Amino acid sequence: MRAPPPRDLTPLRRLWTYVRPYRALLATGVTCTLIGSGLNLIFPRLFGHLIDASFLRVGSTDTAPLDAMVLRLLGVFALAATFAATQSYLLARVGVSVVADVRRALFTHLLTLSPAFFETRRTGELTSRLTADAATLQTVSSNAVAQLLSQTVALIGALILLFLTSARLSLLTLAIIPIVLGTAFTVGARVRAISRDVQDRVADANAHAEEALAGVRTVQSFTAEPTETRRYAHGVHAALNAALHRARLNATLAGTMSFLTFGSLALVLWYGGRLVLNGDLTPGTLVSFLFYAVTVGGSVGALTGLYTQVMEALGASARIFDLLDEPPTLPESPTPTPLNHPAGHLRFEHVTFAYPGHAPTLHDLTLDVPAGHIIAIVGPSGAGKSTLVSLVPRFHDPTSGRVTLDGTDLRHHTLRDLRAHIGLVPQDTLLFSGTVRDNLRYGRPDATDTDIHAAARAANAHDFITALPDGYDTPVGERGIKLSGGQRQRLAIARALLKDPRVLILDEATSALDSESEHLVQTALARLMTGRTTLVIAHRLSTIRHAHRIIVLNAGRIAEHGTHTELLAQGGLYAELHARQFLQGQHETPHSAP
Protein backbone atom coordinates (compact mmCIF):
# COMPACT_ATOMS: atom_id res chain seq x y z
CA MET A 1 0.00 0.00 0.00
CA ARG A 2 1.61 3.20 -1.10
CA ALA A 3 0.27 6.63 -0.29
CA PRO A 4 -0.02 8.92 -3.31
CA PRO A 5 2.83 11.40 -3.52
CA PRO A 6 1.88 14.00 -0.95
CA ARG A 7 1.34 17.57 -2.03
CA ASP A 8 1.29 19.22 1.33
CA LEU A 9 4.31 19.74 3.49
CA THR A 10 2.78 18.61 6.80
CA PRO A 11 5.10 15.58 7.01
CA LEU A 12 8.10 17.90 6.71
CA ARG A 13 6.82 19.98 9.57
CA ARG A 14 6.41 16.83 11.66
CA LEU A 15 9.82 15.65 10.64
CA TRP A 16 11.14 18.92 12.04
CA THR A 17 10.03 17.82 15.51
CA TYR A 18 12.54 14.98 15.17
CA VAL A 19 15.24 17.27 13.77
CA ARG A 20 14.76 19.97 16.42
CA PRO A 21 16.90 18.30 19.10
CA TYR A 22 19.83 18.43 16.67
CA ARG A 23 19.25 21.99 15.47
CA ALA A 24 22.59 23.25 16.82
CA LEU A 25 24.45 20.60 14.83
CA LEU A 26 22.28 21.33 11.84
CA ALA A 27 22.91 25.07 12.06
CA THR A 28 26.67 24.54 12.26
CA GLY A 29 26.53 22.16 9.31
CA VAL A 30 24.50 24.61 7.29
CA THR A 31 26.91 27.44 8.09
CA CYS A 32 29.83 25.33 6.89
CA THR A 33 27.87 24.57 3.73
CA LEU A 34 27.22 28.23 3.04
CA ILE A 35 30.86 29.21 3.59
CA GLY A 36 32.00 26.27 1.46
CA SER A 37 29.75 27.17 -1.44
CA GLY A 38 30.76 30.84 -1.15
CA LEU A 39 34.40 29.81 -1.42
CA ASN A 40 33.60 27.72 -4.45
CA LEU A 41 32.40 30.89 -6.15
CA ILE A 42 35.77 32.57 -5.69
CA PHE A 43 37.80 29.97 -7.40
CA PRO A 44 36.65 30.45 -11.06
CA ARG A 45 37.64 34.10 -10.65
CA LEU A 46 41.09 33.14 -9.38
CA PHE A 47 41.38 30.54 -12.08
CA GLY A 48 40.67 33.18 -14.74
CA HIS A 49 43.32 35.42 -13.22
CA LEU A 50 45.71 32.51 -13.19
CA ILE A 51 45.23 31.96 -16.87
CA ASP A 52 45.65 35.62 -17.70
CA ALA A 53 48.70 35.75 -15.38
CA SER A 54 50.39 32.91 -17.25
CA PHE A 55 49.25 32.76 -20.84
CA LEU A 56 49.08 36.49 -21.46
CA ARG A 57 52.70 36.75 -20.37
CA VAL A 58 54.22 34.32 -22.79
CA GLY A 59 57.94 35.14 -22.92
CA SER A 60 58.07 36.84 -19.51
CA THR A 61 60.44 35.22 -16.96
CA ASP A 62 58.67 36.67 -13.92
CA THR A 63 56.76 33.74 -12.40
CA ALA A 64 55.87 35.60 -9.19
CA PRO A 65 52.25 36.50 -10.24
CA LEU A 66 51.69 32.86 -11.27
CA ASP A 67 53.15 31.51 -8.00
CA ALA A 68 51.05 33.88 -5.92
CA MET A 69 47.90 32.95 -7.80
CA VAL A 70 48.47 29.22 -7.41
CA LEU A 71 49.12 29.67 -3.69
CA ARG A 72 45.88 31.58 -3.33
CA LEU A 73 44.04 28.90 -5.30
CA LEU A 74 45.47 26.18 -3.06
CA GLY A 75 44.44 28.14 0.01
CA VAL A 76 40.87 28.51 -1.26
CA PHE A 77 40.70 24.80 -2.13
CA ALA A 78 42.02 23.78 1.29
CA LEU A 79 39.50 25.99 3.09
CA ALA A 80 36.61 24.84 0.92
CA ALA A 81 37.60 21.19 1.47
CA THR A 82 37.75 21.67 5.26
CA PHE A 83 34.31 23.21 5.33
CA ALA A 84 32.93 20.54 3.02
CA ALA A 85 34.28 17.74 5.21
CA THR A 86 32.95 19.32 8.40
CA GLN A 87 29.57 19.92 6.84
CA SER A 88 29.40 16.39 5.52
CA TYR A 89 30.09 14.87 8.94
CA LEU A 90 27.79 17.16 10.90
CA LEU A 91 24.85 16.74 8.58
CA ALA A 92 25.30 12.99 8.33
CA ARG A 93 25.25 12.93 12.11
CA VAL A 94 21.97 14.81 12.17
CA GLY A 95 20.54 12.44 9.56
CA VAL A 96 21.46 9.18 11.25
CA SER A 97 20.35 10.45 14.67
CA VAL A 98 16.98 11.50 13.31
CA VAL A 99 16.50 8.14 11.62
CA ALA A 100 17.44 6.29 14.80
CA ASP A 101 14.90 8.35 16.77
CA VAL A 102 12.15 7.82 14.19
CA ARG A 103 12.83 4.06 14.16
CA ARG A 104 12.69 3.86 17.93
CA ALA A 105 9.48 5.88 18.09
CA LEU A 106 7.85 3.82 15.37
CA PHE A 107 8.79 0.46 16.85
CA THR A 108 7.65 1.52 20.31
CA HIS A 109 4.36 2.65 18.84
CA LEU A 110 3.87 -0.52 16.78
CA LEU A 111 4.19 -2.64 19.90
CA THR A 112 1.27 -0.78 21.49
CA LEU A 113 -1.11 -1.58 18.64
CA SER A 114 -3.72 -4.25 19.12
CA PRO A 115 -3.73 -7.63 17.36
CA ALA A 116 -6.58 -6.36 15.17
CA PHE A 117 -4.11 -3.94 13.55
CA PHE A 118 -1.57 -6.66 12.78
CA GLU A 119 -4.21 -8.85 11.22
CA THR A 120 -4.69 -6.27 8.49
CA ARG A 121 -1.02 -5.51 7.85
CA ARG A 122 1.73 -7.61 6.45
CA THR A 123 4.82 -7.88 8.61
CA GLY A 124 6.96 -7.16 5.54
CA GLU A 125 5.17 -3.88 5.04
CA LEU A 126 5.82 -2.84 8.63
CA THR A 127 9.48 -3.79 8.59
CA SER A 128 9.92 -1.88 5.36
CA ARG A 129 8.52 1.22 7.11
CA LEU A 130 11.18 0.69 9.79
CA THR A 131 14.01 0.15 7.33
CA ALA A 132 13.57 1.60 3.85
CA ASP A 133 11.25 4.49 4.63
CA ALA A 134 13.16 5.50 7.72
CA ALA A 135 16.39 5.46 5.71
CA THR A 136 14.85 7.74 3.10
CA LEU A 137 14.27 10.32 5.81
CA GLN A 138 17.97 10.42 6.44
CA THR A 139 18.55 12.07 3.08
CA VAL A 140 16.03 14.79 3.54
CA SER A 141 16.84 15.57 7.15
CA SER A 142 20.51 16.12 6.43
CA ASN A 143 21.63 16.21 2.85
CA ALA A 144 18.63 17.86 1.26
CA VAL A 145 18.63 20.82 3.62
CA ALA A 146 22.31 21.47 2.98
CA GLN A 147 22.01 20.93 -0.73
CA LEU A 148 19.05 23.22 -1.02
CA LEU A 149 20.90 26.05 0.70
CA SER A 150 24.28 25.57 -0.91
CA GLN A 151 22.91 25.14 -4.41
CA THR A 152 20.71 28.20 -4.05
CA VAL A 153 23.70 30.23 -2.88
CA ALA A 154 25.77 28.84 -5.74
CA LEU A 155 23.05 29.53 -8.26
CA ILE A 156 22.42 33.12 -7.24
CA GLY A 157 26.11 33.87 -6.74
CA ALA A 158 27.11 32.33 -10.05
CA LEU A 159 24.34 34.15 -11.92
CA ILE A 160 25.47 37.52 -10.54
CA LEU A 161 29.11 36.79 -11.32
CA LEU A 162 28.11 35.53 -14.76
CA PHE A 163 26.55 38.87 -15.62
CA LEU A 164 29.44 40.78 -14.11
CA THR A 165 31.83 38.74 -16.24
CA SER A 166 30.02 39.10 -19.55
CA ALA A 167 26.43 40.21 -19.97
CA ARG A 168 26.17 39.20 -23.62
CA LEU A 169 27.46 35.67 -23.02
CA SER A 170 25.13 35.40 -20.02
CA LEU A 171 22.07 36.06 -22.13
CA LEU A 172 23.06 33.30 -24.54
CA THR A 173 23.63 30.89 -21.64
CA LEU A 174 20.32 31.73 -20.01
CA ALA A 175 18.53 31.06 -23.26
CA ILE A 176 19.95 27.53 -23.35
CA ILE A 177 19.28 26.58 -19.73
CA PRO A 178 15.44 26.32 -20.01
CA ILE A 179 15.80 23.86 -22.90
CA VAL A 180 18.09 21.64 -20.86
CA LEU A 181 15.90 21.96 -17.78
CA GLY A 182 12.66 21.28 -19.61
CA THR A 183 14.06 17.99 -20.90
CA ALA A 184 15.33 16.99 -17.47
CA PHE A 185 11.98 17.76 -15.87
CA THR A 186 9.84 15.88 -18.36
CA VAL A 187 11.90 12.72 -18.44
CA GLY A 188 12.64 13.01 -14.72
CA ALA A 189 8.95 12.93 -13.86
CA ARG A 190 8.54 9.72 -15.85
CA VAL A 191 11.55 8.18 -14.13
CA ARG A 192 10.09 9.03 -10.73
CA ALA A 193 6.75 7.46 -11.53
CA ILE A 194 8.49 4.30 -12.70
CA SER A 195 10.80 4.24 -9.69
CA ARG A 196 7.74 4.14 -7.47
CA ASP A 197 6.43 1.30 -9.55
CA VAL A 198 9.73 -0.57 -9.17
CA GLN A 199 9.62 -0.11 -5.40
CA ASP A 200 6.08 -1.42 -5.24
CA ARG A 201 6.96 -4.48 -7.28
CA VAL A 202 10.03 -5.20 -5.18
CA ALA A 203 7.99 -4.82 -1.99
CA ASP A 204 5.40 -7.26 -3.32
CA ALA A 205 8.03 -9.82 -4.22
CA ASN A 206 9.68 -9.36 -0.81
CA ALA A 207 6.46 -9.79 1.08
CA HIS A 208 5.98 -12.98 -0.83
CA ALA A 209 9.41 -14.32 -0.06
CA GLU A 210 8.99 -13.46 3.61
CA GLU A 211 5.73 -15.33 3.84
CA ALA A 212 7.12 -18.39 2.10
CA LEU A 213 10.30 -18.42 4.19
CA ALA A 214 8.46 -17.90 7.46
CA GLY A 215 6.19 -20.81 6.60
CA VAL A 216 8.84 -22.90 4.89
CA ARG A 217 7.71 -26.06 6.65
CA THR A 218 4.18 -25.67 5.36
CA VAL A 219 5.52 -25.00 1.89
CA GLN A 220 7.74 -28.05 2.00
CA SER A 221 5.14 -30.31 3.53
CA PHE A 222 2.78 -29.50 0.68
CA THR A 223 5.69 -29.80 -1.77
CA ALA A 224 4.50 -26.39 -2.89
CA GLU A 225 8.03 -25.22 -3.76
CA PRO A 226 7.27 -24.96 -7.48
CA THR A 227 4.12 -22.89 -6.78
CA GLU A 228 6.00 -20.57 -4.44
CA THR A 229 8.92 -20.33 -6.85
CA ARG A 230 6.53 -19.45 -9.63
CA ARG A 231 4.78 -16.81 -7.54
CA TYR A 232 8.07 -15.30 -6.45
CA ALA A 233 9.50 -15.48 -9.96
CA HIS A 234 6.40 -13.71 -11.18
CA GLY A 235 6.97 -10.89 -8.69
CA VAL A 236 10.67 -10.69 -9.52
CA HIS A 237 9.86 -10.60 -13.21
CA ALA A 238 7.45 -7.70 -12.73
CA ALA A 239 10.10 -5.86 -10.71
CA LEU A 240 12.68 -6.62 -13.39
CA ASN A 241 10.49 -5.26 -16.17
CA ALA A 242 9.77 -2.10 -14.25
CA ALA A 243 13.46 -1.69 -13.43
CA LEU A 244 14.46 -2.20 -17.09
CA HIS A 245 11.94 0.40 -18.15
CA ARG A 246 13.45 2.78 -15.64
CA ALA A 247 16.96 1.93 -16.84
CA ARG A 248 16.00 2.70 -20.45
CA LEU A 249 14.53 6.05 -19.49
CA ASN A 250 17.51 6.84 -17.29
CA ALA A 251 19.89 5.99 -20.11
CA THR A 252 17.98 8.21 -22.52
CA LEU A 253 17.89 10.99 -19.98
CA ALA A 254 21.61 10.70 -19.22
CA GLY A 255 22.54 10.69 -22.93
CA THR A 256 20.33 13.61 -23.79
CA MET A 257 21.48 15.62 -20.82
CA SER A 258 25.10 14.93 -21.54
CA PHE A 259 24.74 16.05 -25.15
CA LEU A 260 22.72 19.12 -24.24
CA THR A 261 25.20 20.13 -21.54
CA PHE A 262 28.33 19.73 -23.62
CA GLY A 263 26.58 21.07 -26.72
CA SER A 264 25.67 24.23 -24.83
CA LEU A 265 29.23 24.55 -23.59
CA ALA A 266 30.48 24.28 -27.16
CA LEU A 267 28.03 26.98 -28.16
CA VAL A 268 29.13 29.29 -25.37
CA LEU A 269 32.76 28.55 -26.18
CA TRP A 270 32.14 29.38 -29.80
CA TYR A 271 30.52 32.72 -29.07
CA GLY A 272 32.95 33.49 -26.23
CA GLY A 273 35.88 32.63 -28.50
CA ARG A 274 34.68 35.21 -30.98
CA LEU A 275 34.49 37.80 -28.19
CA VAL A 276 38.08 36.96 -27.17
CA LEU A 277 39.24 37.21 -30.80
CA ASN A 278 37.57 40.62 -31.05
CA GLY A 279 39.37 41.67 -27.90
CA ASP A 280 36.14 42.11 -25.95
CA LEU A 281 37.09 39.41 -23.41
CA THR A 282 40.37 38.06 -22.01
CA PRO A 283 40.92 34.29 -22.23
CA GLY A 284 40.95 34.12 -18.40
CA THR A 285 37.55 35.82 -18.24
CA LEU A 286 36.17 33.33 -20.71
CA VAL A 287 37.41 30.46 -18.56
CA SER A 288 35.89 32.07 -15.43
CA PHE A 289 32.69 32.50 -17.35
CA LEU A 290 32.62 28.85 -18.37
CA PHE A 291 33.13 27.78 -14.79
CA TYR A 292 30.29 30.00 -13.61
CA ALA A 293 28.06 28.74 -16.39
CA VAL A 294 28.83 25.15 -15.35
CA THR A 295 28.08 26.10 -11.74
CA VAL A 296 24.72 27.57 -12.76
CA GLY A 297 23.85 24.46 -14.78
CA GLY A 298 25.06 22.17 -12.00
CA SER A 299 23.05 23.99 -9.33
CA VAL A 300 19.91 23.94 -11.38
CA GLY A 301 20.39 20.22 -12.04
CA ALA A 302 21.06 19.54 -8.36
CA LEU A 303 18.00 21.53 -7.35
CA THR A 304 15.76 19.50 -9.64
CA GLY A 305 17.30 16.27 -8.30
CA LEU A 306 16.57 17.63 -4.87
CA TYR A 307 12.93 18.01 -5.74
CA THR A 308 12.77 14.26 -6.40
CA GLN A 309 14.53 13.51 -3.14
CA VAL A 310 12.22 15.74 -1.16
CA MET A 311 9.14 14.22 -2.81
CA GLU A 312 10.39 10.71 -2.01
CA ALA A 313 11.12 11.70 1.54
CA LEU A 314 7.70 13.29 1.85
CA GLY A 315 6.13 10.03 0.71
CA ALA A 316 8.25 8.03 3.15
CA SER A 317 7.52 10.32 6.06
CA ALA A 318 3.82 10.39 5.25
CA ARG A 319 3.79 6.58 5.44
CA ILE A 320 5.74 6.60 8.69
CA PHE A 321 3.56 9.26 10.28
CA ASP A 322 0.44 7.40 9.15
CA LEU A 323 1.63 4.46 11.20
CA LEU A 324 2.60 6.65 14.12
CA ASP A 325 -0.91 8.13 14.03
CA GLU A 326 -2.50 4.69 14.03
CA PRO A 327 -4.44 4.78 17.29
CA PRO A 328 -4.16 1.76 19.56
CA THR A 329 -7.56 0.25 18.71
CA LEU A 330 -8.20 -0.38 22.36
CA PRO A 331 -8.93 2.91 24.07
CA GLU A 332 -7.29 3.39 27.43
CA SER A 333 -9.38 4.86 30.22
CA PRO A 334 -8.33 8.45 30.99
CA THR A 335 -8.98 7.80 34.68
CA PRO A 336 -7.89 4.20 35.19
CA THR A 337 -8.73 2.23 38.30
CA PRO A 338 -5.54 0.94 39.94
CA LEU A 339 -5.25 -2.83 40.04
CA ASN A 340 -3.46 -4.10 43.10
CA HIS A 341 -3.40 -7.75 44.10
CA PRO A 342 -6.58 -8.84 42.35
CA ALA A 343 -8.24 -11.94 43.72
CA GLY A 344 -8.87 -13.14 40.19
CA HIS A 345 -12.65 -13.35 39.94
CA LEU A 346 -13.45 -13.21 36.21
CA ARG A 347 -16.90 -12.63 34.77
CA PHE A 348 -18.09 -12.48 31.19
CA GLU A 349 -21.41 -10.61 31.19
CA HIS A 350 -23.57 -10.89 28.08
CA VAL A 351 -20.50 -10.74 25.91
CA THR A 352 -21.02 -10.48 22.19
CA PHE A 353 -17.96 -10.14 20.01
CA ALA A 354 -17.58 -9.73 16.27
CA TYR A 355 -14.32 -9.32 14.37
CA PRO A 356 -14.55 -6.08 12.39
CA GLY A 357 -16.62 -6.69 9.27
CA HIS A 358 -17.64 -10.20 10.32
CA ALA A 359 -20.70 -11.77 11.87
CA PRO A 360 -20.46 -12.19 15.66
CA THR A 361 -18.11 -14.94 16.83
CA LEU A 362 -19.42 -14.89 20.42
CA HIS A 363 -23.11 -14.43 21.19
CA ASP A 364 -24.43 -13.03 24.45
CA LEU A 365 -22.12 -15.19 26.46
CA THR A 366 -22.23 -15.14 30.26
CA LEU A 367 -19.68 -17.02 32.32
CA ASP A 368 -18.58 -16.73 35.93
CA VAL A 369 -15.10 -17.89 36.91
CA PRO A 370 -14.62 -17.68 40.69
CA ALA A 371 -11.12 -16.74 41.85
CA GLY A 372 -8.80 -19.72 41.80
CA HIS A 373 -11.06 -21.89 39.67
CA ILE A 374 -9.92 -23.84 36.66
CA ILE A 375 -12.31 -23.71 33.75
CA ALA A 376 -11.68 -25.97 30.78
CA ILE A 377 -13.05 -24.79 27.45
CA VAL A 378 -13.72 -27.38 24.78
CA GLY A 379 -15.63 -27.34 21.54
CA PRO A 380 -15.32 -27.88 17.84
CA SER A 381 -12.85 -25.92 15.75
CA GLY A 382 -13.99 -22.38 15.05
CA ALA A 383 -16.36 -22.40 18.03
CA GLY A 384 -14.69 -19.27 19.42
CA LYS A 385 -12.46 -20.70 22.14
CA SER A 386 -9.38 -18.63 21.26
CA THR A 387 -11.55 -15.56 20.73
CA LEU A 388 -13.12 -15.97 24.17
CA VAL A 389 -9.82 -16.16 26.02
CA SER A 390 -8.34 -13.31 23.96
CA LEU A 391 -10.80 -10.94 25.62
CA VAL A 392 -9.14 -11.41 29.00
CA PRO A 393 -5.79 -9.71 28.26
CA ARG A 394 -7.84 -7.31 26.10
CA PHE A 395 -6.35 -8.31 22.77
CA HIS A 396 -9.89 -7.46 21.73
CA ASP A 397 -12.75 -5.74 23.53
CA PRO A 398 -16.31 -7.14 23.50
CA THR A 399 -18.60 -5.57 20.92
CA SER A 400 -21.27 -5.46 23.61
CA GLY A 401 -21.40 -6.70 27.18
CA ARG A 402 -18.36 -6.63 29.43
CA VAL A 403 -15.66 -8.69 31.04
CA THR A 404 -14.89 -7.93 34.67
CA LEU A 405 -12.06 -8.77 37.02
CA ASP A 406 -13.08 -8.67 40.68
CA GLY A 407 -16.20 -6.80 39.57
CA THR A 408 -14.45 -4.02 37.63
CA ASP A 409 -14.75 -3.74 33.86
CA LEU A 410 -11.38 -4.63 32.33
CA ARG A 411 -11.55 -1.41 30.32
CA HIS A 412 -11.27 0.62 33.53
CA HIS A 413 -7.75 -0.64 34.13
CA THR A 414 -4.67 0.29 32.17
CA LEU A 415 -3.53 -2.42 29.78
CA ARG A 416 -0.23 -2.46 31.59
CA ASP A 417 -1.76 -3.12 35.00
CA LEU A 418 -4.17 -5.68 33.66
CA ARG A 419 -1.64 -7.66 31.68
CA ALA A 420 0.78 -7.64 34.61
CA HIS A 421 -1.62 -10.02 36.33
CA ILE A 422 -2.32 -12.30 33.40
CA GLY A 423 -0.14 -15.19 32.33
CA LEU A 424 -0.39 -16.64 28.88
CA VAL A 425 0.90 -20.08 27.90
CA PRO A 426 0.22 -20.46 24.20
CA GLN A 427 0.12 -23.67 22.18
CA ASP A 428 3.37 -22.91 20.51
CA THR A 429 5.89 -21.17 22.67
CA LEU A 430 7.85 -18.42 21.03
CA LEU A 431 11.41 -18.33 22.29
CA PHE A 432 13.29 -15.13 21.60
CA SER A 433 16.91 -15.08 20.49
CA GLY A 434 18.91 -15.17 23.71
CA THR A 435 19.82 -17.63 26.42
CA VAL A 436 17.44 -19.89 28.30
CA ARG A 437 17.86 -17.55 31.24
CA ASP A 438 16.91 -14.47 29.18
CA ASN A 439 13.83 -16.25 27.94
CA LEU A 440 12.72 -17.28 31.40
CA ARG A 441 13.28 -13.79 32.72
CA TYR A 442 11.09 -12.33 29.97
CA GLY A 443 8.05 -11.94 32.21
CA ARG A 444 9.99 -10.68 35.22
CA PRO A 445 13.22 -8.91 34.30
CA ASP A 446 14.28 -8.52 37.94
CA ALA A 447 14.09 -12.26 38.74
CA THR A 448 17.17 -13.59 40.53
CA ASP A 449 18.94 -16.79 39.53
CA THR A 450 17.43 -18.48 42.58
CA ASP A 451 13.91 -17.51 41.44
CA ILE A 452 14.69 -18.72 37.93
CA HIS A 453 16.00 -22.07 39.11
CA ALA A 454 13.03 -22.55 41.43
CA ALA A 455 10.59 -21.82 38.62
CA ALA A 456 12.43 -24.13 36.26
CA ARG A 457 12.37 -26.91 38.88
CA ALA A 458 8.63 -26.46 39.44
CA ALA A 459 8.13 -26.57 35.68
CA ASN A 460 10.14 -29.83 35.40
CA ALA A 461 12.56 -27.95 33.19
CA HIS A 462 15.64 -27.67 35.43
CA ASP A 463 17.02 -31.10 34.56
CA PHE A 464 16.91 -30.74 30.83
CA ILE A 465 18.22 -27.18 31.04
CA THR A 466 21.26 -28.19 33.08
CA ALA A 467 21.90 -30.97 30.56
CA LEU A 468 22.16 -28.40 27.73
CA PRO A 469 25.73 -27.54 26.60
CA ASP A 470 25.83 -24.27 28.55
CA GLY A 471 22.98 -24.90 30.96
CA TYR A 472 20.97 -21.75 31.59
CA ASP A 473 23.32 -19.81 29.33
CA THR A 474 22.60 -21.90 26.25
CA PRO A 475 21.32 -19.77 23.39
CA VAL A 476 17.86 -20.68 22.15
CA GLY A 477 15.48 -19.04 19.72
CA GLU A 478 15.91 -18.69 16.02
CA ARG A 479 19.67 -18.95 15.98
CA GLY A 480 20.04 -21.08 19.10
CA ILE A 481 19.68 -24.70 20.01
CA LYS A 482 16.43 -26.38 18.97
CA LEU A 483 14.23 -27.62 21.77
CA SER A 484 11.47 -30.19 21.59
CA GLY A 485 7.82 -29.21 21.84
CA GLY A 486 7.59 -30.55 25.40
CA GLN A 487 10.74 -28.72 26.46
CA ARG A 488 9.48 -25.46 25.04
CA GLN A 489 6.18 -25.90 26.83
CA ARG A 490 8.00 -26.44 30.10
CA LEU A 491 10.02 -23.27 29.49
CA ALA A 492 6.75 -21.44 28.87
CA ILE A 493 5.38 -22.84 32.12
CA ALA A 494 8.50 -21.77 34.01
CA ARG A 495 8.23 -18.33 32.45
CA ALA A 496 4.62 -18.07 33.60
CA LEU A 497 5.52 -19.34 37.09
CA LEU A 498 8.13 -16.61 37.38
CA LYS A 499 5.61 -13.99 36.40
CA ASP A 500 3.26 -15.42 39.03
CA PRO A 501 0.03 -14.05 37.56
CA ARG A 502 -3.37 -14.22 39.24
CA VAL A 503 -5.12 -15.17 36.03
CA LEU A 504 -3.78 -17.80 33.71
CA ILE A 505 -4.72 -18.50 30.13
CA LEU A 506 -3.60 -21.74 28.74
CA ASP A 507 -3.90 -23.00 25.21
CA GLU A 508 -2.88 -26.60 25.47
CA ALA A 509 -0.77 -27.92 22.65
CA THR A 510 -2.67 -30.26 20.39
CA SER A 511 0.36 -32.21 19.25
CA ALA A 512 0.89 -35.44 21.11
CA LEU A 513 3.90 -35.77 23.37
CA ASP A 514 5.45 -39.07 24.35
CA SER A 515 4.07 -40.32 27.62
CA GLU A 516 7.08 -39.32 29.74
CA SER A 517 7.20 -35.81 28.33
CA GLU A 518 3.43 -35.60 28.66
CA HIS A 519 3.67 -36.53 32.32
CA LEU A 520 6.36 -33.89 32.97
CA VAL A 521 4.28 -31.20 31.25
CA GLN A 522 1.11 -32.24 33.07
CA THR A 523 2.61 -32.14 36.55
CA ALA A 524 4.23 -28.80 35.74
CA LEU A 525 0.92 -27.44 34.51
CA ALA A 526 -0.86 -28.69 37.61
CA ARG A 527 1.64 -26.77 39.77
CA LEU A 528 1.21 -23.69 37.63
CA MET A 529 -2.60 -23.74 37.80
CA THR A 530 -2.82 -24.29 41.53
CA GLY A 531 -4.49 -21.34 43.19
CA ARG A 532 -4.83 -19.29 40.01
CA THR A 533 -7.92 -18.44 38.05
CA THR A 534 -7.34 -20.47 34.93
CA LEU A 535 -9.02 -20.58 31.56
CA VAL A 536 -7.67 -23.49 29.63
CA ILE A 537 -8.48 -24.41 26.05
CA ALA A 538 -8.28 -28.09 26.82
CA HIS A 539 -7.30 -30.97 24.63
CA ARG A 540 -6.28 -33.49 27.29
CA LEU A 541 -8.43 -35.52 29.62
CA SER A 542 -6.05 -35.06 32.53
CA THR A 543 -6.48 -31.29 32.41
CA ILE A 544 -10.19 -31.63 32.11
CA ARG A 545 -10.29 -33.84 35.19
CA HIS A 546 -8.46 -31.13 37.15
CA ALA A 547 -10.95 -28.53 36.02
CA HIS A 548 -13.66 -27.30 38.36
CA ARG A 549 -15.93 -26.94 35.38
CA ILE A 550 -15.96 -27.65 31.67
CA ILE A 551 -17.54 -25.25 29.21
CA VAL A 552 -18.55 -26.64 25.87
CA LEU A 553 -18.53 -23.88 23.32
CA ASN A 554 -20.38 -24.26 20.04
CA ALA A 555 -20.76 -21.56 17.41
CA GLY A 556 -20.01 -18.82 19.93
CA ARG A 557 -22.47 -19.99 22.58
CA ILE A 558 -22.08 -22.07 25.70
CA ALA A 559 -23.76 -25.30 24.66
CA GLU A 560 -23.15 -27.25 27.86
CA HIS A 561 -21.29 -26.91 31.12
CA GLY A 562 -20.54 -29.14 34.05
CA THR A 563 -17.93 -31.68 35.16
CA HIS A 564 -16.57 -34.42 32.96
CA THR A 565 -18.88 -37.02 34.48
CA GLU A 566 -21.92 -34.76 34.37
CA LEU A 567 -21.34 -33.89 30.76
CA LEU A 568 -20.80 -37.49 29.71
CA ALA A 569 -24.04 -38.41 31.48
CA GLN A 570 -25.87 -35.67 29.58
CA GLY A 571 -25.01 -37.42 26.33
CA GLY A 572 -24.76 -34.13 24.42
CA LEU A 573 -22.06 -32.46 22.33
CA TYR A 574 -19.35 -33.19 24.88
CA ALA A 575 -20.18 -36.87 24.97
CA GLU A 576 -20.19 -36.88 21.20
CA LEU A 577 -16.79 -35.11 20.91
CA HIS A 578 -15.41 -37.47 23.50
CA ALA A 579 -16.70 -40.59 21.84
CA ARG A 580 -15.44 -39.51 18.42
CA GLN A 581 -11.97 -38.91 19.72
CA PHE A 582 -11.97 -42.08 21.69
CA LEU A 583 -12.96 -44.03 18.61
CA GLN A 584 -10.30 -42.38 16.51
CA GLY A 585 -7.90 -43.62 19.12
CA GLN A 586 -5.94 -40.40 19.10
CA HIS A 587 -6.17 -38.68 22.45
CA GLU A 588 -8.77 -40.05 24.77
CA THR A 589 -10.08 -36.52 25.13
CA PRO A 590 -12.40 -34.05 23.49
CA HIS A 591 -10.21 -32.50 20.86
CA SER A 592 -10.84 -29.23 19.17
CA ALA A 593 -10.85 -30.90 15.77
CA PRO A 594 -14.35 -31.46 14.41
Ligand X SMILES: Nc1ncnc2c1ncn2[C@@H]1O[C@H](COP(=O)(O)OP(=O)(O)OP(=O)(O)O)[C@@H](O)[C@H]1O
Q: Residue from 221, 223, 381, 565 that binds ligand X (CB under 6 A)?
A: 381
Please select the residue that binds ligand X; options are 382, 426, 477, 485, rule is CB under 6 A.
Answer: 382
Q: Which of residues 381 and 450 has its CB atom nearest to ligand X in the complex?
A: 381
Sequence-separated (6 or more) residues with CB below 8 Å from residue 170: 159, 162, 163
Q: Which is nearer to ligand X, 35 or 383 (CB)?
A: 383
Residue 590 touches ligand X, criterion: CB under 6 A: no
Q: Does 479 bind ligand X (CB under 6 A)?
A: no
- Parallel, antiparallel or unpaired: strands 408-409 and 533-537: unpaired
The least CB distance from residue 326 to ligand X, in Å, is 17
Q: Which stretch binds ligand X (CB under 6 A): 78-86, 104-112, 304-312, 374-382?
A: 374-382
Judged by CB under 6 A, which of 136, 141, 288, 361 binds ligand X?
Answer: 361
- Structural contact between residues 381 and 592, judged by C-beta atoms closer than 8 angstroms: yes
Which residue from 128, 387, 435, 460 is in contact with ligand X, where contact means CB under 6 A?
387
Q: Which is nearer to ligand X, 119 or 514 (CB)?
A: 119
Going from the C-alpha of 406 to that of each of 115, 278, 399, the distances in angstroms are: 25, 101, 21
343: left (phi over 0), alpha (psi -120 to 50) or beta: alpha
Determine how many CB atoms are found less than 10 A away from the CB of residue 430: 11
Residues 180 and 268: beta-carbon distance below 8 Å: no
* Closer residue to ligand X in complex, CB, 12/535: 535
Residues 6+ apart with CB under 8 A from 244: none
Based on CB atoms, which residue is closest to ligand X, 295 or 361? 361
Minimum CB distance to ligand X, residue 324 (Å):
24
Order across the sheet with 360-369: list the strands. 360-369, 346-354, 400-405, 408-409
Of 120 and 450, nearer to ligand X (C-beta) is 120
Query: Of these, 383, 403, 405, 535, which contacts ligand X (CB under 6 A)?
Result: 383
Asked if 401 interacts with ligand X (CB under 6 A), we say no
**386 touches ligand X (CB under 6 A):** yes
Q: Which residues of 324-352 are buried (b: 16+ CB within 10 A; e: fewer)?
A: beeeeebeeeeeeeebeebebbbbbbebe
Q: Residue 387: helix, strand or coil by DSSP?
A: helix
The DSSP result for 176-192, as a single string, is HHHHHHHHHHHHHHHHH
Binding mask 118-157 for ligand X (x = CB under 6 A): -x--------------------------------------
Looking at the Cβ atoms of 439 and 581, the one nearer to ligand X is 581
Q: In DSSP terms, which residues pair with 404 in a beta bridge?
A: 347, 409
Nearer to ligand X, 120 or 515 (CB): 120
One residue of 216, 355, 368, 571 binding ligand X per CB under 6 A: 355
Phi, psi of 145 (to 5 degrees): -60, -50
What residues make contact with ligand X under the rule CB under 6 A? 119, 355, 358, 361, 379, 381-387, 592
